[in-house]
C-alpha cells in the first residue's frame, strides 16, 4: 500500500504506533462517525438542528478526507499538520455545538477526539522531525 510505504519512510518518534494499527482504529472511528454524524445530518435535514451546529461536522468531514491526499499524495507534512489541527478544532467545535441538542453524539465521539488529539501531536512531531535545514531555512 502506498500510504504504508510512505509512512514507513518518515522519521517518527519512538512512541509512534505501527502503520498497521491505523486501519483498524480508523475503521472503528469511521463507524462511530457514520452513526453520530449521520444522525446529526438527519436531524439537520429534518430541521431539528440549525446550520451553525452542522457546519463544524461538515468541515470536519472535509478536513478529515483531505488529510490522506495531503500527507501521502502531496507528501506535504506541513499541509497535513495544518489539516489535522483543523480536524481537531472542528471536532471540538462540533462536539460543543451539538451537546445541548443531542448529548450522546458528544459522548460517542470521545474516542474520535482522543485519537485526533494523539494524531495531532504525532503529525506535528513527524513534521518537525522530517524538516531539514538548508541555509538556515526550513524546507519540507
**Residue whose cell numbers read 435535514:** 45
**Residue whose cell numbers read 478529515:** 64
How far are the Cα atoms of 40, 50, 65, 90, 109 from residue 11, in angstroms, in the given order? 39, 44, 23, 28, 30
Instruction: Give the pLDDT confidence of 59-114 residue by residue, as tens digits.
Output: 999 999 999 999 999 999 999 999 999 999 999 999 999 999 999 999 999 999 99
Give the whole-angstrom CA distance, residue 96 versus residue 39.
16
Instruction: Give the pLDDT confidence of 27-67 residue by residue, as tens digits.
Output: 999 999 999 999 999 999 999 999 999 999 999 999 999 99
Contact residues for 67 (Cβ-Cβ < 8 A; gap 6+): 80, 83, 84, 87
Q: Cα 83–97–65 angle (5° rounding)?
A: 25
Q: Which of 38, 40, 60 is nearest to 50 (CA)?
A: 40
Provide the pLDDT confidence category of residue 2 given band limits of 50, 70 and 90. low
Amino acid at each position: 500500500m502506498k500510504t504504508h510505504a510512505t509512512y514507513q519512510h518518515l522519521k517518527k518518534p519512538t512512541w509512534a504506533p505501527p502503520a498497521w494499527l491505523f486501519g483498524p482504529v480508523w475503521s472503528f472511528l469511521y463507524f462511530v462517525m457514520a452513526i453520530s454524524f449521520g444522525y446529526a445530518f438527519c436531524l439537520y435535514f429534518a430541521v431539528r438542528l440549525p446550520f451553525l451546529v452542522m457546519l463544524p461536522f461538515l468541515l470536519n468531514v472535509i478536513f478529515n478526507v483531505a488529510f490522506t491526499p495531503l500527507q501521502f499524495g502531496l507528501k506535504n507534512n506541513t499541509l497535513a499538520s495544518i489539516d489535522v489541527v483543523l480536524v481537531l478544532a472542528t471536532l471540538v467545535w462540533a462536539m460543543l455545538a451539538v451537546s445541548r441538542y443531542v448529548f450522546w453524539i458528544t459522548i460517542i465521539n470521545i474516542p474520535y477526539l482522543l485519537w485526533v488529539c494523539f494524531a495531532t501531536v504525532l503529525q506535528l512531531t513527524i513534521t518537525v522531525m522530517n524538516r531539514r535545514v538548508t541555509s538556515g531555512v526550513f524546507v519540507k
